[in-house]
Structure 1
Amino acid sequence: MSINNSQNEIALVWHRRDLRIDDNPALHEAIAEVGDHGRVVGLFIFDPDILDDGVTEGSKVDFMLGCLRELQANYRRLGSDLLFMYGQPVSSICELAKSINATHVFFNQDVEPFAIKRDRDAKEALQTLGIKVQSFIDIGLIAPDAIATQAGEPYKVYTPFWRNWQSKPKSTPLDAPKQIKGLDHHENLPTIPLPSLRELKFINDITLPKFGEAAALELLTKFCDSNNILRYQTERDLPAHVGTSGLSPHLRFGTVGIRRVWAAAIASEQLIRSEEDQQGVTTWKQELAWREFYQHVLFYFPELATGAYRPQMQNFPWEEDEEKFEAWCEGRTGYPIVDAAMRQLNQTGWMHNRCRMIVASFLTKDLLINWQWGERYFMQKLLDGDLAANNGGWQWSASSGMDPKPLRIFNPASQARKYDPEGEYILQWLPELRGLTTAELLSGNIPPHQCDRRQYARPIVDHNTQQQKFKRLYQECKS
């Protein structure tokens, strides 16, 4: 039965990666468009193609459900509701739009190839029904196609992208609405209650960080109103320290708006008292730009989602050694900094960014295993798993991406000595190694009898040997 509310305009706000009411362009414009007499209702669709893709794990779904629970509570507190559907997105939103006589649909854009096609198909189908559709830039501060080289081409190198990106004006954040007028009735809609993790056929065996909009804003405030952002340049590479914001899962699910993040960073400049402080804030801004650089290149080069950017790496003779890959996944490589990082990932759904580079280099340059195996594993485990950033980071580490100096190989031992000099991070995740000297922990070559005594894996490869092998194969592919 349709809801007969033809006297008023009714807008659907289709949430995907924007699970918040604050600083939300689609929601803000929906309320403005339909006016005081219109109605606005939120929608989230559980897409079985995503849930059953073999990559999505229970921890990420559980985090998302927590965010949705808070978002629905916020809608209800303000006078409306967030509705849920399960099914193919295009047919689902059209079905709901018809059943409530929707006049408008609003959503925030994405840059992933799958999402772009989905949104194009949805827009065409909705417009065929006579429904007005509007979409907005929300995933980044600058639209991917709103920035280009002087020749009008997309950027392929970060540094000139950063120079252009940072010079462009940024929008100010949009305040959360104080009221949302919802539908008069909810009966007989093709919707479902918010499902449980079990109903979606997932389980979660890790302890989640705080989820939702309130938690995201709390993290942002704590990071930018303290010395954390001022010390970001020096602290961000030390995995034993709390030197990062912890916002990455919230940026992934959009529980905090990127304009709100940028405004907080700008406001933190009032705290600057030294060149070191200035460098901390600048480095944080540069990391936000890295995020948008990877969105930019994925938008223009969607083939990155399925393969290497550099032609010479498209046929690299990777070794498909499943036993070594399993050892890497489980943190049993015999290289403490690598194993500590993988255990952090498996037990928390997050990994320090410095360690992401270390383990990615180890998988590709030491084990000679295809970077796409690691990319997929990260997407399975990371709460902040994002196609653009994850793919960009892995291709950078594998020498297959857009890095102008692609041949980078990280030595696990020297990385540990530089960024975990006391072995604090290693011991946090590898408690069986307590009692070893710091030199032994950081050497990358723990004596075999010590490994056996502590039931810790002996090194599964020799770094120097594998480094030379990778270089040789890399040069052969270039010639």
Structure 2
Amino acid sequence: MTKFRSIFWHRRDLRIEDNIGLSEASKTSENLIGVYVLDPNLLNLSRTTSEAKNWFLGESLLELQKNWERRGSRLLILNGDPIKLISKLADLVKAECIYWNENIEPYEINRDKKIKEQLSKDKRKIFTFLDQLIVNPSNIKTNNNDPYKVYGPFYHKWINIINRTKILTNNLIEISRMPEKIRGFNERELLSIKNSDLNYCISKESKPIYDLLISNRFKNTNLCPCKPGESESINQLNFFINSGSINSYSQARDIPSLESTSTLSAALSLGTISCRAVWNGAQISKKMANNEYQINSIDTWIKELAWREFYQNALINFPELEKGPYREKWLKFPWQNKPEWFKSWETGLTGIPIIDAAMRQLKYSGWMHNRCRMIVASFLVKDLLIDWRWGELFFMKSLVDGDLASNNGGWQWSASSGMDPKPMRIFNPYRQASKFDENGNYIRKWIPELTHVSTPNLLSGEITSAERKGYPNPIINHKNQTSIFKELYSSIN
């Protein structure tokens, strides 16, 4: 079999192991180098990313570079427009083939289309693969060949496809393996770059990464539960399994004061771990489970993987979700959009403890517990009457695990503007606090000025002036505001 000089382009797959595109490239390439492009359109702190996510990205790239070097090749880091840089790099190193794993966001799809056109003009071979989903979206259709719009039926189809076609006899998905050694391009072959404006990525390979990290203002890395890099992602998965957290997930997952979730969301978003490795970890846990309760907990966690794929399928099939509500009637909703209320919400100063604790967790750690994401989203939309897109954007600018499909899907679910069939779901923040933070541990952790307040007062929000010690009074009355929301909602029906 003829083997080629090739480039593998890393995107949302910042790992060596179980990387479908990279594995295929290694099989068919005589010489192989990797490249990652710091795309300004995806590093825009005003819209598409956060300081926390850039920290996670930079640290993960440093480890990925070392992993390439250990195998005998190298990962180049470019900074700029991929449409120009990928083609230019291929020309300079005389690469015959370019490999990458497909992405699902509208910008990336349009960008990749242009890159394919340019590479095809240059007579280069292009090989792309589906890596970030367990099931190919083209296979998940209704009997009428339409995309699913409701999670329940989607999940049943998804799990049936896996059980029927994707799983081996031991219930594990086959993992793509990489050889221990990769033959890269020797220094002479890379000399052509020295006279180009891409020279710095050969002479100072990590400079663009260090520039990204040095300019980054996210400093509370010790508070962030998501740990960057392929090795740490594997460690987090193993800890989640070996500690037994996966066996009690169905009950403990909603308690924000507990470290009971996998916190692999950032790893899955940037691909420092594969969705198949996560699936396999769950299946291994099921084999070791002692009872039905543990098996049900593991299945509950697997359903979270399905939610991730449901939202990604939704964005693939309905790319207009990026721009606005799935239910068009919400375009007519008369949002009040008070800037002063939004400021109180984003800074954790609404005077409602569970809301403020969650928003401060996000501010200081770059991450927020999923139960709390639902609570603060419902509050912004159905109490403060602020357009859910304000919250969606703020989350993308704040979260270490910001992901367009999951973030958009979660906000549209909370706002009742998405595909979910229950439009009038409203969370009472005080009831949510009493149910999921019954001892007030989560609130006290993130709002230290309230540590002295009794638990009943903390959860009900009935805090005296003397107890507040500078903590604000509630900016709204929950009952009154939700009544207004219902009236406004009836006006668009």
Asked whether the 8 Å contact 1:61–1:197 carries over to 2, the reply is no
CA distance in 2, matches of 1:176, 1:257: 14
Secondary structure of the equivalent of 1:406?
coil
Secondary structure of the equivalent of 2:111?
helix
* Structure 2 partner of 1:461: 476
Work out whether 1:32 is the aligned partner of 2:27: yes
CA distance in 1, matches of 2:230, 2:271: 8
Question: How many Å apart are 1:252 and its aligned residue?
Answer: 1.1
Q: Do the aligned partners of residues 323 and 197 (structure 1) sit closer, same or farther apart at CA in structure 2, a change above 3 Å counting?
A: farther
Question: How many Å apart are 1:176 and its aligned residue?
Answer: 3.6
* Structure 2 partner of 1:389: 406
CA distance in 1, matches of 2:119, 2:11: 17
Asked whether the 8 Å contact 2:246–2:297 carries over to 1, the reply is yes
1:38-86 alpha-carbon deviations (Å, 9 max, x no partner): 0011000111222235133322212111000000000000000000111
* Structure 2 partner of 1:70: 63
Work out whether 1:54 is the aligned partner of 2:46: yes
* Structure 2 partner of 1:475: 490
Work out whether 1:255 is the aligned partner of 2:269: no
Work out whether 1:361 is the aligned partner of 2:378: yes
Per mean C-alpha deviation after superposition, the further-off stretch among 233-242 and 179-188 is: 179-188
CA distance in 1, matches of 2:7, 2:212: 28
CA distance in 2, matches of 1:428, 1:50: 33
1:377-403 alpha-carbon deviations (Å, 9 max, x no partner): 100110100000000000000111111
Structure 2 counterpart of 1:206, from 197, 220, 223: 220
Asked whether the 8 Å contact 1:412–1:444 carries over to 2, the reply is no
* Structure 2 partner of 1:323: 340
* Structure 1 partner of 2:174: 172
CA distance in 1, matches of 2:135, 2:288: 26
Question: How many Å apart are 1:221 and its aligned residue?
Answer: 1.1
Secondary structure of the equivalent of 1:260?
helix
Gaps of 5+ in 2: 167-172
1:316-347 alpha-carbon deviations (Å, 9 max, x no partner): 11112111101100000011000000000000
CA distance in 1, matches of 2:324, 2:66: 41
* Structure 2 partner of 1:162: 155
Q: Do the aligned partners of residues 329 and 268 (structure 1) sit closer, same or farther apart at CA in structure 2, a change above 3 Å counting?
A: same
* Structure 2 partner of 1:274: 291
1:406-425 equivalence runs, <5 A: 406-425=423-442
CA distance in 2, matches of 1:474, 1:83: 52
Indicate the RMSD between aligned Cα atoms, in angstroms. Answer: 1.5
Question: How many Å apart are 1:404 and its aligned residue?
Answer: 0.8
CA distance in 1, matches of 2:27, 2:348: 52
Question: How many Å apart are 1:8 and its aligned residue?
Answer: 6.5
Q: TM-score, normalised by structure 2?
A: 0.92
Work out whether 1:137 is the aligned partner of 2:154: no
Work out whether 1:295 is the aligned partner of 2:297: no
CA distance in 2, matches of 1:235, 1:177: 40
1:218-267 alpha-carbon deviations (Å, 9 max, x no partner): 01111123411110101100000011001111111100011111111111
Question: How many Å apart are 1:188 and its aligned residue?
Answer: 4.1
Asked whether the 8 Å contact 2:58–2:213 carries over to 1, the reply is no
Question: How many Å apart are 1:130 and its aligned residue?
Answer: 1.0
- Structure 1 counterpart of 2:50, which letter? E
- Structure 2 counterpart of 1:336, which letter? P
* Structure 1 partner of 2:300: 283
CA distance in 1, matches of 2:387, 2:123: 48
Per mean C-alpha deviation after superposition, the further-off stretch among 113-122 and 64-73 is: 113-122
1:229-240 equivalence runs, <5 A: 229-240=246-257
* Structure 2 partner of 1:118: 111
CA distance in 1, matches of 2:213, 2:482: 47
CA distance in 1, matches of 2:36, 2:382: 41
Question: How many Å apart are 1:31 and its aligned residue?
Answer: 0.8
* Structure 1 partner of 2:191: 187
Q: Do the aligned partners of residues 458 and 246 (structure 1) sit closer, same or farther apart at CA in structure 2, a change above 3 Å counting?
A: same
CA distance in 2, matches of 1:274, 1:465: 46
Per mean C-alpha deviation after superposition, the further-off stretch among 357-366 and 261-270 is: 261-270
Question: How many Å apart are 1:270 and its aligned residue?
Answer: 1.2
1:414-455 alpha-carbon deviations (Å, 9 max, x no partner): 00000000000000001110111110010033234432xx11
Question: How many Å apart are 1:469 and its aligned residue?
Answer: 0.5
Per mean C-alpha deviation after superposition, the further-off stretch among 383-392 and 119-128 is: 119-128
Per mean C-alpha deviation after superposition, the further-off stretch among 120-129 and 297-306 is: 120-129
Asked whether the 8 Å contact 1:172–1:260 carries over to 2, the reply is no
How many residue pairs get matched?
A: 467
- Structure 2 counterpart of 1:438, which letter? T
Asked whether the 8 Å contact 1:21–1:177 carries over to 2, the reply is no
1:444-479 alpha-carbon deviations (Å, 9 max, x no partner): 33234432xx1101100000000101011111111x
CA distance in 1, matches of 2:3, 2:492: 64
CA distance in 2, matches of 1:198, 1:390: 24
Secondary structure of the equivalent of 2:397?
helix
Deviation >6 Å, runs of 4+: none
Work out whether 1:44 is the aligned partner of 2:36: yes
Secondary structure of the equivalent of 1:49?
coil
Question: How many Å apart are 1:17 and its aligned residue?
Answer: 0.6
Asked whether the 8 Å contact 1:251–1:257 carries over to 2, the reply is yes
- Structure 1 counterpart of 2:19, which letter? N
Secondary structure of the equivalent of 1:205?
coil
CA distance in 1, matches of 2:157, 2:43: 37
* Structure 2 partner of 1:4: none
* Structure 2 partner of 1:3: none
- Structure 2 counterpart of 1:73, which letter? K
- Structure 2 counterpart of 1:32, which letter? K
Asked whether the 8 Å contact 2:50–2:400 carries over to 1, the reply is no
* Structure 2 partner of 1:99: 92
CA distance in 1, matches of 2:214, 2:125: 32
